[in-house]
Amino acid sequence: MRAALALGVVAALSLACGPGAAAPSPVPSAAALPAYCTAAQPDVLQEISGTAASPYLIHHPATATARVPTVVFLPGGAGARKQAQRVWDAYLAGAKGVDAFRVVIPYWPDIEMVEGFRRTLAVVDEVLACYGGDAHQIHLAGFSAGGQSAFDLMLEKPERFATLLGAPGEFQLGTTPAKLAVLKGKAVFNGVGELDDEGWHKGVRDAHEALVAAGVESVYVEFKGQRHGAGEGFPKDLLVEFWVKHSILEQR
């Protein structure tokens, strides 16, 4: 948990991809794939290893197009393999509409995620090179320590991501509304379990209020009946609805 930030109130959300954005990466043909790429396996949570940016888990959309958006979700704790699997199982699997997205869950077998979270950028680049998708529709998310790392990365590289989601997540102590101004034009989802401890409630509320004070569009959500982490009955659809609202999805 991190400590307090600043002030505000809820605002409407906005689309991150505007006119003039660069064209999305085409779906690579087999002949055009970099030699290191692993062929996509549809309908399963696929393990990617042995590449420069790996390891990570990936779930491909039902239909791959050049404009497919990508969700990158950082796991909690140390960011180990079992925690990455839990992100898929507890937060995403079976959610309505999740098959419209390419879901990527990096994990860290040898070091703590909080020490190596910047590898996420290399994972995104590798996924776009191997599988295509819209580089302007990359949604960054995280749970607990992964939420904190996602919030840190979003502040460092706001141009790389369309939206930010914490379930929960929070900014570092001393992150002022002035520092958050770089996120204007983005949308942020600040979620916390209704029964989570007060430290997390304060951190998530403070993040939301500081974002609003900075003029950043933000929403605050309490997950009814949930503690720290997704338990039985977690509202997975709420997360996907946020990403759908801030994506351009091609008709199928």
pLDDT at 108 > cutoff 90 = yes
pTM: 0.88
Beta strand 70-74 pairing with 102-106 = parallel
How does pLDDT run across 3-38, given as a tens digit for each residue? Answer: 444 333 233 333 333 333 455 666 666 557 889 999
* 8 Å CB contact between 216 and 178: no
Complete edge-to-edge strand list for the sheet that includes strand 70-74: 46-48, 56-59, 102-106, 70-74, 138-142, 163-166, 187-193, 217-223
How crowded is residue 115: how many other Cβ atoms within 10 Å of its Cβ?
A: 11
Sign for the CA dihedral angle at 73, 152, 82, 3 comes to: negative
Beta strand 46-48 pairing with 56-59 = antiparallel
Yes or no: domain 41-245 corresponds to CATH 3.40.640.10: no
What CA–CA distance (Å, rounded) separates 150 from 169?
A: 8
pLDDT number for residue 143: 98
pLDDT number for residue 174: 85
User: Would you kindly state where each structural domain of the chain is located, as residue ranges?
Assistant: 41-245
How does pLDDT run across 25-77, given as a tens digit for each residue? Answer: 666 665 578 899 999 998 899 999 999 999 999 999 988 888 899 999 999 99
pLDDT number for residue 18: 39
Q: What is the DSSP secondary structure assignment for residue 190, as one 8-state letter?
A: E
Average pLDDT over residues 164-186: 93
> How far, in whole angstroms, is CA 192 from its chain's centroid?
15
Q: How confident is the model at residue 131 (pLDDT cuts 50, 70, 90)?
A: very high
